[in-house]
């Protein structure tokens, strides 16, 4: 297998979210005292969609789908992140970049530099492609590196990157053809943070009952991949069913880290969703997740968007929730159930 660049991914990852969210807003999460422990009120991060959070340099950094610009918030506590000042780190149309519909940005540190992977278009959804920005620091200024030339040059969103040893990969959601009707998950190897090496393979398509809810739109969806690499296995969560349906939920693909990840047979799909709307939670459309690490490095946290509308929604009413996850004895992630109530502060978080 061809070797890639070093595995210096600080952000433990990554749609579809073919529907972009509004600019992040909403009330701050207020810590309360419950059983003597500082707690946060979900939705911790207020209004928004397609969330990505990474903790680095003593601060949480958050990016979301935010229209035609890339906007970042940062704070020392998850309790104050939703009301931290917004910083525009890149403006659509600058440096020859696409103007519009910047969806599902992710920020990763690779080889000492920071890279943003994001989908954008020229105002026509059919022209959505994946683009890369880079900077010396996480807050920028960012330079436009151009389009990530994914094999086939088709519609592609929700790109995430991860490394297994010294081999690096990009996973994304894309159309199998030139027309909108189905979104599948694809994987390719990277030769550098901005270049793909070799072919792309399809590792998942919507085929199980839980991931084929399409509502009146009629589009079948697998999107929003996010990776965890641990205990000699690769876990790739993803969102299944349309984000406009209440059944939008998270599935999971699993592969042995020593396997040929570019062989679709290396991946096993969980037969049921691993994180889905739960009766009594009041949350629907619980999807497009990512993972981040607590300030002291001892916990893995799940961040995702959801709505309180029983009919489901892929609009500006989406809000961002966060909660810690656990791991089974064999290392398999246990995401739990969606929580609209209090959650504890991440370990090492100083609070308000």
Chain center to CA of 256: 22
Alpha carbon distance 94, 129 (integer Å): 16
Mean pLDDT to the nearest integer, 103-125: 97
Alpha carbon distance 264, 175 (integer Å): 17
Kindly report, residue by residue over 181-235, the tens digit of the pLDDT.
999 999 999 999 999 999 999 999 999 999 999 999 999 999 999 999 999 999 9
Kindly report, residue by residue over 144-189, the tens digit of the pLDDT.
999 999 999 999 999 999 999 999 999 999 999 999 999 999 999 9
Q: In what order do the strands lie in the sheet with 69-75?
A: 52-56, 59-63, 69-75, 87-91
- Among candidate residues 232, 200, 246, the one with its CA nearest the CA of residue 338: 246
Q: Coil, helix or strand for 81? A: helix
Tell me whether residue 182 is one of the annotated catalytic residues. no
According to CATH, what is the number of the domain 32-344? 2.115.10.20
Contact 134, 89 (CB under 8 A): no
Alpha carbon distance 65, 101 (integer Å): 8
Q: Coil, helix or strand for 266? A: helix
Contact 307, 285 (CB under 8 A): yes
Both structure tokens of 118 = 């994001």
Kindly report, residue by residue over 70-79, the tens digit of the pLDDT.
999 999 999 9
Neighbours of 112 (CB within 10 A): 8
Pairing of strands 268-269, 220-230: unpaired
- Among candidate residues 198, 238, 237, the one with its CA nearest the CA of residue 332: 237
pTM of the model: 0.90
Tell me whether residue 223 is one of the annotated catalytic residues. yes
Q: Biggest alpha carbon distance in the chain?
A: 56
Give the residue, 24 or 313, on which the prediction is more confident: 313
Catalytic position from the list 106, 182, 184, 223: 223
Alpha carbon distance 294, 149 (integer Å): 34
Alpha carbon distance 50, 284 (integer Å): 15
- Among candidate residues 110, 150, 156, 115, the one with its CA nearest the CA of residue 133: 115
Give the residue, 20 or 146, on which the prediction is more confident: 146
Does the pLDDT at position 35 exceed 70? no
């Amino acid at each position: 297998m061809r070797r890639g660049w070093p595995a210096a991914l600080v952000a433990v990852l990554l749609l579809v979210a073919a529907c972009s969210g509004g600019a992040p807003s909403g009330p701050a999460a207020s810590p309360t005292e419950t059983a003597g422990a500082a707690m946060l009120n979900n939705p911790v991060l207020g209004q928004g969609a397609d969330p990505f959070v990474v903790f680095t340099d003593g601060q949480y950094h958050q990016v979301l789908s935010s229209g035609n610009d890339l906007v970042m918030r940062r704070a020392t506590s998850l309790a104050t992140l939703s009301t931290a000042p917004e910083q525009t780190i890149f403006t659509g149309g600058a440096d020859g970049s696409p103007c519009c519909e910047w969806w599902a940005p992710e920020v990763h540190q690779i080889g000492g530099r920071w890279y943003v992977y994001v989908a954008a278009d020229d105002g026509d959804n059919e022209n959505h492609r994946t683009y890369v920005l880079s900077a010396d620091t996480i807050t920028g200024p960012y330079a436009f590196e151009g389009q990530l030339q994914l094999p086939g040059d088709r519609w592609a969103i929700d790109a995430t990157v991860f490394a297994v040893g010294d081999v690096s990969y990009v996973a994304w959601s894309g159309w199998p053809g030139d027309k909108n009707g189905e979104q599948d998950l694809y994987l390719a190897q990277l030769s550098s943070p901005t270049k793909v090496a070799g072919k792309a393979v399809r590792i998942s398509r919507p085929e199980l009952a839980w991931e084929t809810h399409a509502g009146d739109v009629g589009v079948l969806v697998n999107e929003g991949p996010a990776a965890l690499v641990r205990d000699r296995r690769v876990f790739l969560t993803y969102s299944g069913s349309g984000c406009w349906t209440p059944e939008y939920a998270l599935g999971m693909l699993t592969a042995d880290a020593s396997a040929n990840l570019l062989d679709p047979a290396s991946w096993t799909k969980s037969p049921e969703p691993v994180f889905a709307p739960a009766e009594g939670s009041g949350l629907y459309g619980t999807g497009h997740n990512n993972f981040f690490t607590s300030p002291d490095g001892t916990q893995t946290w799940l961040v995702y968007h959801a709505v309180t509308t029983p009919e489901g929604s892929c609009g500006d009413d989406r809000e961002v929730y966060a909660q810690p996850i656990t791991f089974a004895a064999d290392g398999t992630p246990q995401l739990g159930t969606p929580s609209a109530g209090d959650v504890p502060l991440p370990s090492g978080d100083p609070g308000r």
